[in-house]
Amino acid sequence: MKKEGLAKHNILEPLKAFTPARIALGRAGTGIPLKAFQAFKLAHAHARDAVYSELDIDGLNEKLSVFDLPVIHLHSAAAYREQYLQRPDLGRKLNEESAEEIKKYYSPCDVAIVIADGLSAMAVNNQVVKLVKSLLALLQDANFQTAPLTLVKQGRVAIADEIGLALGARLSLIIIGERPGLSSGYSAGVYITYQPKPGLTDECRNCVSNIHAQGLSGKIAAEKIFYLIQEAFKYKQTGITLKDNQLLLP
> What percent of the chain is modeled with pLDDT above 90?
73
Estimate to the nearest angstrom the gap between the alpha carbon of 55 and the chain centroid. 13
The pLDDT of residue 134 is above 80: yes
Q: Which pLDDT band, with edges at 50, 70 and 90, does 143 fall under?
A: very high
The pLDDT of residue 183 is above 70: yes
How confident is the prediction for the chain on average, in pLDDT?
Answer: 91
Domain spans in the chain, listed from the N-terminal domain onward: 52-235
- C-beta of residue 116 within 8 angstroms of C-beta of residue 74: no
Has 178 been labeled as part of a binding site?
yes
Has 157 been labeled as part of a binding site?
yes
What is the CATH number assigned to the segment(s) 52-235? 3.40.50.11240
Residues 6+ apart with CB under 8 A from 108: 168
Average the pLDDT over 189-209 and give the result.
96
Q: Which pLDDT band, with edges at 50, 70 and 90, does 112 fall under?
A: very high
The pLDDT of residue 184 is above 80: no
Query: Could you give phi then psi for residue 99, rounded to 5 degrees?
Result: -60, -35
Cβ atoms within 10 Å, residue 147: 27
Cα–Cα distances in Å, from 152 out to 180, 223, 229?
19, 24, 22
Which pLDDT value is given to residue 90? 97
Q: Which pLDDT band, with edges at 50, 70 and 90, does 30 fall under?
A: confident
Query: Could you give phi then psi for residue 185, rounded to 5 degrees?
Result: -100, 5
- C-beta of residue 227 within 8 angstroms of C-beta of residue 235: no
The pLDDT of residue 94 is above 50: yes
Which pLDDT value is given to residue 102? 96
Q: Which pLDDT band, with edges at 50, 70 and 90, does 250 fall under?
A: low
Which pLDDT value is given to residue 53? 92
Which pLDDT value is given to residue 8? 54
- C-beta of residue 140 within 8 angstroms of C-beta of residue 173: no
Q: Which of 243, 171, 229, 235 is nearest to 200 (CA)?
A: 171
Handedness of CA 220, 223, 229, 232 (dihedral sign): negative
Supply the pTM of this predicted model.
Answer: 0.89
- C-beta of residue 168 within 8 angstroms of C-beta of residue 195: no
- C-beta of residue 36 within 8 angstroms of C-beta of residue 56: no
> What percent of the chain is modeled with pLDDT above 70?
95
